[in-house]
Structure 1
Amino acid sequence: MQASILVMIIFTLPTLVLSSQNFPLSKENCDDSCGDIRIPFPFGTTKECYLAIQFWVTCNRTTTPPKLFWWNTTIPIIDISLEGQITLLQRIAKDCYHLNASSSLSIDTRIELTTSFTVNYTANRFTIVGCDAYALVSGNRLDRTFMTGCTAMCSSRDDLTEGSCAGVGCCQTPIPQNVTTVGIRVNSYSNYTDVSDFNTCGYAFVVKDSAFNFSKDNLTNLLDVTRLPAVIDWAIGNGTCEQAERNADSYACVSANSQCYKPTNGYGYRCRCKDRFEGNPYLPKGCRDINECLNESLHNCNKHALCTNEIGNYTCTCPDNYDGDGMGVDGCREKPPKDTKITFVLIGIASGIICLLLGIILLYLDLKRRSHNKMKQKFFLQNGGNMLREKLAMREASPDMVTIFSSSELQKATNNFHDSMILGRGGFGTVYKGVLADRRTVAIKRSIRVDPTQIEQFINEVVVLSQINHRNVVTLLGCCLETDAPLLVYEFINNGTLSSHLHNEAKARILDWNTRLKIATETAEVLSYLHSSASTPIIHRDVKPDNILLDHTFTAKVSDFGASRLVPVDLAQLSTMVQGTFGYLDPEYMQTNQLTEKSDVYSFGVVLLELVTGRRALSFDRPIEEKSLANYFLYVLKQDLLLEILDENIVGLENMEQISVVSKLAKECLNVRGEDRPSMKEVAMELEGLILGERHSWARINVHDEEEVESLIRIDDGMSHFGNGDMSSNVGYDSISRDHIPLPMNGGR
């Protein structure tokens, strides 16, 4: 039993498993272990993972441990150290003579290394065990041969001493330096024919000194042991550090905090991390800073001091009530107590200063609050707040009555009007998305400053617009007058604008003809309601797809009606400036500067064109004759080429009659003279009739017009070919501006 335990200890002592590290051992995407054995770079198991062929380690995970490929592949490796050592299991040389002398056993052993590897001369011992045994050790060192030996003798088991290896039963001798080859042969002096049971063999081996401790049982139990651990030194190449550093391509010390050094045994050089760094110096960024403050044995800070880690170092800082550099036993010395009276005086002075500063701050904040409240009150009065309150007080209270919001409510709802909450910008202001305290999502429009001369008109309009009750109108929920620019609060429509759907290739496919006709009809009904059914007639003034919102069911919601009335008008510029959006602007308004209900009809006609063509009212990237959709439409209509500009997403035999009627209706809406255009009520009735499958004629389509409609839907060979005509070069405006930009009167036709 004792012998078995000893053999187990012999094998386990040299098995050094690396402790868990916080730095990489191998190259990226390379195995860093074979079973329980760690494989650090420059060693590796594949060509991409080792530095040179001599560091190739074979790993068969079913028959671990690993082995060096270039050497004797039967010798197992049990440890590879970044300090430059490999621990392996080396064979034992034996010379055995049996009791009957009928047979014997003789085994020699040999260690033969290549460049970059040498037998470690400090960690190993050449050892002989036996009672009549001598062994010769020969090999190569420094390109010359060497030879040494040792003899172990004893007469009986009683001669042996546990743990002693001084020649009686056990003999040890050191390994010379720079040895690359070792051959061992063991013999006996006598030719035995009768031996005792304790003296059956002689053994010789190179063994790691710390892994072998002589025992009397070794005379017999080593017979069943085939290998013992030995230490081999390894290095990079066979040149010096100076030679290696000159060749940057092959220089192995690649970590920023590594350094090269000459090993004491063998050829070549090794790399190591600098002081206060740890890791693998053969890998980029392999050497990492050691946090000395985590281990008291690594720093010299006083017990009262604060240890602060730095890259490659640490600092010690004494507390405020201590003096010193914080290093060593006397690094922090407690400060002597100060005069108590002085301390209290200083505390009193400091407290007085703090109280004075606190009072100044509170006074400043109070003055700022009062100034802010005065400013809000000033804006409230300036924007007609009292007038609005009086008008609301005169009306009977109802849930739909306009709400007067405070500026703080809307600032909180919009995250202080953050840019991320902006839904859109226009000539009449900026629209923000907001969430009120009652979790209602709203759209908040920040208008430009109201002209003081138009305050009464503005307030009247807010009251009127808040009373509009139509399912296809974006509801005005309230306003805020405490800011320099009035804030209008509308219900939030979540599906974007009609323009964003028409002019997006993916979204346009969803808008089939029936949906577009429904949107046109609902929009026309709203405008008809505003013109003739509202308590106070309202001209929208800016009808366009950007002001037609869609909910999740694609129901149209008209917004920004009457918005142009909120814009201040300098009377001195009344005759030279126009307001609106080019492409939709009534050409008659360009001459008279007078907006009427028929101005909305013209703008709606352009919207109808966008619905049937999918084109924008103004397209700057098209040829000059196609820039203005209204002019180009009238041209193609005259040339009988309507099908060329229809949106392919709606074209179909079942749709063509309705599309033709809508196109005819759009043409009537685009008449230059307002009196020649139909009213919005007539337009709405015509569109509603199309949806109901009826023809609500308003006495504008005669027999001649019927023929013209038929010509609009003329199909040549199944709509596969259309004629081309010459385009007029004077279609559209030469100089136009985008959304809501005021232009001089002479800027249009």
Structure 2
Amino acid sequence: MHSAIAALAMSLILISLLLLLQLPEVASAVPDSRCPTKCGDVEIPYPFGIGAIIANCSGEGENCFFNSTETAIGANCSLGGDFNLTCNTMGSGLKKPFYYDLEVLNISLAMGQVRMLNPISSACYNPNYNNVTGTRWSLNLEETPYRFSNLHNKFTVIGCDTLAYILDYHGSNISYYSGCVSMCEDEQSIVNDSCSGMGCCQTSIPKNLQYYEVSFDGNFNNSATWRFSRCSYAALLDSEWFPFQTSYITTNQFMQINGDGRVPVVIDWAIGNETCEVAKLNLTSYVCVSAHSDCVDSSNGPGYLCTCSKGYQGNPYVSNGDGCQDINECNQSNSCSDGANCQNLPGNYSCHCPKDTHGNAYNGICIPDQKLSLAVKVAIDNINNKKMTCMYDDLAGGCSGIIILLLCVMCLYIVYQRRKLEEMKRKYFKQYGGHELEKRMKLEKSLNKFKIFGSKELEKATNHFDDKNIIGRGGNGVVYKGVLENQDVVAIKKPKIINEDLKKQFGTETLILSYVNHVNIVKLLGCCLEMEMPLLVYEFVQNGTLFHLIHENENRATTFLDTRLRIAYESADALDYLHSKVSPQIIHGDVKSSNILLDVDNTAKISDFGASKLIPKGEEQFATLLQFTHGYIDPECLVTYELTYKSDVYSFGVVLLELFTGKKAINFEESEEQRSLVSTFTMLENQNRVSEILDNQVKLEANIEFIQELTKLIKQCLKLKGEDRPTMKEVAEELNGLRTLNQHPFVVQHNVEEMESLLSGLPNDNRADSNTTFNIESRFTGQSNIQDWL
């Protein structure tokens, strides 16, 4: 028996030795001592570096050093790739480090950040030519270890009557879209150090952003304020550095802060794309090589960072004397009491009261010992020297008992988890006002069609919310198709966020929404309050959305004018019903073509109504909405962060444009000038050329009077000030009148060529054409003369 155990132990030892022999060697990172560690006044710590050392060079200093890795064959002074910087000598003789053409201000190993200077985009109104020119910048950090810091940067817009956007897109796919409005009527309305919408506004950015582009909205310009504020500016910048001054509005001082139109931006960086757990498996590429270093997963995108362990400081990326060194806490401010002795330890320290004293040596006090009697000392010694022993039974005899015990524990755990789940369901049900809802439903028995669904029922209906059943996504949540046990098909909406102030009223609020009863509004059937995010259950409308009909249906071109008018009128009438004919009145808050559903005969049904009541208010709400409603959002809301009935009118004006032009609200496949449908419409309407963007089927069927009246209606809906827009009732009445006008048998029809001739005017050729392009290895792009906005 003993010999078998000994043989087994020997085998395990041999296997362990073989495994140790096969482990890859830990990466060694010791930059050449001849590599520069500073450029001007900026420290350049490894893994960053400047240039390379020439291979097989035995010289010293600059004799063997090249500032660029492209001309030197040898050891890089950096980790390589995008960690390599250049040290340029400026006209003043001062040296400054650069990453391509971005000047580096400082590098932080501890924070995993580098600060660089980022160019400012501008748009300036020219009263002589009645147009806007400027420079629009984009910055591309994709396929690099860098990402814009979401914690330290904000997209900042400066100007009067200015709306600017920040966006990240690839082809026609938009991954991020946001912006803000800066307004001011005169110099007295702006205040120093205030950036909340008057002369200056800011908005946050998401994590893992590596590309951004600036775009100015052509409907906003400085034509009304040019006498005291001619230019607008936009940039992603370090919000902790930014000090807004009123002089930025009235002068070009903002462009001169760093001498050439650049402002600091904070860039997060990380090593590779792996987590620490994965990176440690390959020790040849793992870069946390210093003794007493730790690995930390990046908090902004993939990759990892290295830090010195607690009690150590230095560079965790090198294995030489500059690596992580012990901090002597006894030479610094520490927690030892006055009079206590401090002892430095590896990575730590300890505090002791001096001999013949006792007390709390940490943040306390040490007091002299009192003489103790011999009996007390003996008692204390006996306590300190007492030994505890433990007896062990034969393990083999207890194995079966352990297995039985483990099975019992597993059963108890399963029961516990089930009870915990049921308890959580009850908690959510109470949290979202389920009991109040049940009481109200008993009082209002006429509403027996409204149902409180159980979570299990809806999980089964959607196959546990399988992504294959997703039929829609929006700023407010995700919509799933579900099949109930009775084979009824429903649409189940899972909100993303909930208004904390309305949590307790959620159940009763949904009940109120179920009162809505209109042939052109999707019916709310019930809700589920047993999940972390409550669910809304609607009737299912099976013929897709208006967006699909306009932009993705092959038969769109043959959609007759009468059908488009009917859809527009039905949608407007439904919105008017929400605004004025229900109590309490409802602001839709997310009007867009993808929220107008169509049944089998293309009857319009407004969906997602009332969502604005159930989501948070303020900047958080609009940061969410902008992600999914770009092109539809009321510009006035970007100032007030408040949805109004007139916000629905603006958004519906954009839907009318889509419906009668066949074009998307925002289309990034188009040129800069034609990207925004509203901006394109405004420009062409000012030049009497609206017919150029109308759908061919509309031009084929419509008459001139119809086009003129439709253009007038859309223009009124898109007024920048909400008070200047019509009500939805007035919009519905006007659309009904247009239906009558279109069906009038005595109206003379004009052919397409005649209509274009009558509606077209000469384009405005007054432009300031100075085109330049600035390119830094496909990472950095600036374009002058953005567009003729007016």
Q: TM-score, normalised by structure 2?
A: 0.43
Q: TM-score, normalised by structure 1?
A: 0.45
* Larger RCO, structure (CA 8 Å, separation 6 or more): 2
Greater gyration radius: 1
